[in-house]
C-alpha cells in the first residue's frame, strides 16, 4: 500500500520536514501526517523563498493540493497550532485532527519546567514529555483534541480517513520527528533521549495504520550530525561551527540554532554508528543526506562516497541546508 515514512537517522534536525515536503510534492500525495509534538520544528522553504518553521502542522501545509492530518499519537500546543493554522490559512477542508490527540495544557508545561529536564538532559521544555507521562498515568485532567471547542471543525477519525485514501491507492506521507538516536527504547544514550520512540514503526503506530500499508521508508541523515545545546548527551567527533565554516569555502559563517529553543546546536563530524543502528531498525529503502553544502564544493563527491562506504548503503538524494534535493550523482553541481 502507498505509505511513505520519513524518519531521522541521527539526533534530530536531519531535514525530515524538507524531505517530507519534497516527497509529498513529487509523489503527488493525498495526505501528509505529522507525528509527535512541538518539541521539534521542521523547516521548509516556501515558493517566495521564505523559511517556514512548523512545530505542529506537516510541512506540506504550503502545498495547496495536499491534505493534512495530526494523528492520535500527537501532542498539541494549542497556541502554536492555531497560529500555524492562521498563518497557512488551512481550514477543515484540508486539515483533520484526530479526537484522541492530546493537548499540552499550561499545567503540563509547568510540570515539565519544574522537572529539571532542561538542565539535566537538554530538554526543550515544550511540555511534550510531561504530556506523554500524563497520558501513560491516565491522568483524569488530561485534555484531548475532541474537548477543545476551537478545534471542533477539524476533528475527524484520522485512521478512517487515511484508510479511505489507501483504498483508492492514494499516497500518504508520514512525517516523523526527531531522530533515531533520541529513542528512549533503542538509543544507546539513555537517559539523553526524547519522550517517545522515534522509529518508523512508532510513527506508523501513532498514525493508526498497518505495517502492511508501508512500501517506502526514507531515512534522513546529516553530513554533520547535531545535538541540542547543553547537557544533551554524547556526540562522537564533536567540533564547532567555526571549524565547519572555515572548511566549507563559504563567504559567511555557518551556525545553526534550534528551531524550538533558539539555542546554538552542538555539531560533530559524521560518524556511522548511530546511522547503522537506525538502518538495522528501520530498514529504509531510501537514504537522504542533507547539508552537503557545509562541505567545500571540491570535496563533496569524496565526502559522499566516504559516507556511503561507512554506512554500507548508497545515498539516493542529497540536499542543501535549505530546500534543494537532487540525485546523489549530481553532488558536485550543488
pLDDT at residue 45, rounded to an integer:
86
How high is the pLDDT of residue 244? 94
* Residue 303: burial class (beta carbons within 10 Å; 0-12, 13-18, 19+): middle
In the chain, where the domains are located:
3-329
- Measured at the CA of 144, the angle between CA 187 and CA 208, to 5 degrees, comes to 55
Q: How far apart are the first and last CA of the chain?
A: 34
Strand order across the beta sheet in which 67-70 lies: 95-97, 67-70, 31-34, 172-175, 3-8, 214-222, 286-290, 317-319, 325-327
Residues of the chain with confidence (pLDDT) below 70: 1, 118, 121-122, 259-260, 323-324, 328-334
Contact yes or no for 262/128 (Cβ under 8 A): no
| C-beta atoms surrounding 290 within 10 Å | 25
Cell numbers standing for residue 280: 538495522
pLDDT in tens, 238-273: 999 999 999 998 878 899 887 667 789 999 999 999
pLDDT given at position 120: 74
The total of other beta-carbon atoms located within 10 Å of residue 115's CB is 15
Euclidean distance between CA atoms 127 and 315, whole angstroms? 35
Q: pTM for the full model?
A: 0.94
DSSP β-bridge partners for residue 268: 238
Which of 6, 55, 31, 24 is CA-nearest to residue 160? Answer: 31
Longest pairwise C-alpha distance within the chain: 59
pLDDT of residue 230: 84
What is residue 329's predicted lDDT score, i.e. its pLDDT? 67
Using the 8-state DSSP alphabet, how is residue 264 labeled? B
Between helix 158-167 and helix 200-207 the angle, nearest 10°, is 100
Tally Cβ neighbours within 10 Å of residue 262: 9
Give residue 332's pLDDT: 62
Q: Which CATH architecture has domain 3-329?
A: 3-Layer(aba) Sandwich (3.40)
At residue 293, the 3 state secondary structure works out as helix
Amino acid at each position: 500500500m502507498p505509505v511513505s515514512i520519513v524518519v531521522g537517522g541521527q539526533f534530530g534536525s536531519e531535514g525530515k520536514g524538507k524531505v517530507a515536503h519534497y516527497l509529498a510534492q513529487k509523489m503527488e500525495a493525498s495526505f501528509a501526517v505529522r507525528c509527535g509534538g512541538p518539541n521539534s520544528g521542521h523547516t521548509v522553504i516556501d515558493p517566495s523563498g521564505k523559511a517556514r518553521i512548523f512545530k505542529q502542522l506537516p510541512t506540506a501545509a504550503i502545498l495547496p493540493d495536499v491534505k493534512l492530518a495530526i494523528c492520535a499519537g500527537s501532542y498539541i500546543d494549542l497556541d502554536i497550532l492555531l497560529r500555524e493554522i492562521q498563518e497557512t490559512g488551512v481550514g477543515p477542508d484540508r486539515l483533520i485532527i484526530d479526537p484522541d490527540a492530546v493537548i499540552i495544557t499550561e499545567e503540563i508545561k509547568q510540570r515539565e519546567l519544574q522537572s529539571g529536564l532542561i538542565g539535566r538532559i537538554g530538554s526543550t521544555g515544550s511540555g511534550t514529555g510531561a504530556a506523554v507521562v500524563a497520558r501513560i498515568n491516565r491522568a483524569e485532567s488530561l485534555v484531548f483534541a475532541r474537548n477543545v471547542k476551537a478545534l471542533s471543525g477539524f476533528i475527524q477519525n484520522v485512521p478512517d480517513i487515511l484508510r479511505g485514501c489507501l483504498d483508492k491507492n492514494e499516497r500518504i506521507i508520514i512525517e516523523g520527528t526527531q531522530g533515531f538516536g533520541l529513542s528512549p527504547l533503542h538509543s544507546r544514550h539513555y537517559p539523553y533521549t526524547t519522550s517517545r520512540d522515534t522509529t518508523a514503526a512508532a510513527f506508523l503506530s501513532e498514525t493508526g495504520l498497518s505495517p502492511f500499508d508501508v512500501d517506502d521508508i526514507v531515512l534522513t541523515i546529516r553530513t554533520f550530525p547535531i545535538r541540542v545545546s547543553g547537557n544533551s548527551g554524547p556526540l562522537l567527533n564533536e567540533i564547532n561551527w567555526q571549524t565547519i565554516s572555515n572548511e566549507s569555502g563559504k563567504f559567511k559563517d555557518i551556525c545553526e540554532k534550534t528551531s524550538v529553543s533558539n539555542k546554538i546546536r552542538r555539531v560533530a563530524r559524521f560518524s556511522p554508528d548511530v546511522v547503522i543502528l537506525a538502518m538495522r531498525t528501520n530498514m529504509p529503502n531510501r537514504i537522504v543526506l542533507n547539508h552537503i553544502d557545509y562541505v567545500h564544493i571540491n570535496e563533496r563527491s569524496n565526502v559522499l562516497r566516504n559516507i556511503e562506504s561507512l554506512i554500507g548503503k548508497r545515498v539516493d538524494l542529497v540536499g542543501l541546508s535549505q530546500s534543494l534535493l537532487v540525485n546523489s550523482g549530481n553532488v558536485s553541481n550543488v
